[in-house]
Chains A and B, each alone.
Chain A
Amino acid sequence: MNVILSGKVAVVTGAGAGIGQATAKLFANEGAVVYAADIKGLEWVDEFSSNSGRIVPIQLDICDFAAVKNVVMAIKKGHGRIDVLANIAGLISYELMPMIDYDKFRKMLDVNVVALVHLMSLVSRIMTRQQSGSIINMASMVGEKGSKGQLSYAATKGAVIAATKSAAKELAESHIRVNAIAPGMVGSERFKAVLEEKFAHKINDVPFGRLANPEEVANLCLFLASDQSSYMTGQIIGIDGGAII
Chain B
Amino acid sequence: MTNLEKLNKIFCEVFSVEESALNNNFDKCNVEGWDSVRQLSLTSSVEDEFDIMLDAEDILEFTSYDNAKAVLAKYDIAL
Q: What total of chain A residues lie within 8 Å of the partner, measured CB to CB?
A: 11
* In the complex, residue of chain B having the shortest beta-carbon distance to the beta carbon of A122: B53
> How many Å from the CB of B46 to the closest CB on chain A?
12
In the complex, residue of chain B having the shortest beta-carbon distance to the beta carbon of A121: B56
Q: Is the Cβ of B48 less than 8 Å from the Cβ of A69?
A: no
A28 located at the interface, meaning its Cβ lies under 8 Å from any Cβ of chain B in the complex: no
Quick check: A69 and B53 within 8 Å, CB to CB? yes
Distance of A175 from chain B, by nearest CB (Å): 16
Contact A129 B53 (CB under 8 A): no
Q: How many angstroms between the C-alpha atoms of A128 and B56 in the bound complex?
A: 16
Chain A proximity of B77: nearest CB distance (Å): 15
Question: Which residues of B (37-79) have their CB < 8 Å from a CB of A?
Answer: 44, 47-48, 51, 53, 55-56
- Is the Cβ of B55 less than 8 Å from the Cβ of A69? yes
In the complex, are the beta carbons of A73 and B48 less than 8 A apart?
A: no
A interface with B by C-beta (< 8 Å): 65, 69, 72-73, 76-77, 121-122, 125, 128-129
Q: Choose from A65, A72, A121, A129 the contact partner of B48 (Cβ within 8 Å).
A: A129
CA distance A77 to B50 in the complex (A): 12
In the bound complex, residues from chain A placing their C-beta under 8 Å from that of B44 are 125, 128-129
Nearest chain A residue, comparing its CB with the CB of B48:
A129
Given the interface pairs A125-B44, A128-B44, A129-B44, the reply to whether A73 lies near B56 with Cβ below 8 Å is no
Chain A residue with Cβ nearest B51: A77
A203 to B35, CA, bound (A): 53
User: Which residue of the partner chain B has the closest CB to A77?
Assistant: B51
Residues of chain A contacted by B53 (CB below 8 angstroms): 69, 72-73, 76, 122, 125
Measured in the bound complex, the distance between the Cα atoms of B44 and A235 in whole Å is: 28
Residue of B nearest to A65 (CB): B55
How many angstroms between the C-alpha atoms of A77 and B51 in the bound complex? Answer: 9
Q: What separation, in Å, do the CA atoms of A73 and B47 have in the docked complex?
A: 11
- Bound Cα distance A180, B51 (Å): 31
Nearest first, the 8 closest Cβ-Cβ pairs linking A and B are A73-B53, A69-B53, A72-B53, A122-B53, A125-B44, A129-B48, A69-B55, A121-B56
* A73 neighbours in B (Cβ, 8 Å): 53
B41 to chain A minimum Cβ distance, whole angstroms, is: 10
Closest CB in chain B relative to A172 CB, distance in Å: 15
Query: How far does the Cβ of A194 sit from chain B's closest Cβ, in whole Å?
Result: 36
Would you mind naming 5 contact pairs between A and B with Cβ atoms under 8 Å apart?
A: A65-B55, A69-B53, A72-B53, A73-B53, A77-B51
In the bound complex, residues from chain B placing their C-beta under 8 Å from that of A76 are: 53
Smallest CB–CB gap between A142 and chain B, Å? Answer: 30
Closest Cβ of chain B to A167, distance in Å, is 15
Which B residues are in CB contact (< 8 Å) with A128?
A: 44
Task: Using A122-B53, A125-B53, A129-B48 as known contacts, list a sample of 12 further A-B pairs with CB atoms less than 8 Å apart, ordered by residue number in A.
Answer: A65-B55, A69-B53, A69-B55, A72-B53, A73-B53, A76-B53, A77-B51, A121-B56, A125-B44, A125-B47, A128-B44, A129-B44
Chain A residues positioned under 8 Å from B56 (CB to CB): 121
Which of chain A's residues have a CB closer than 8 A to the CB of B47?
Answer: 125
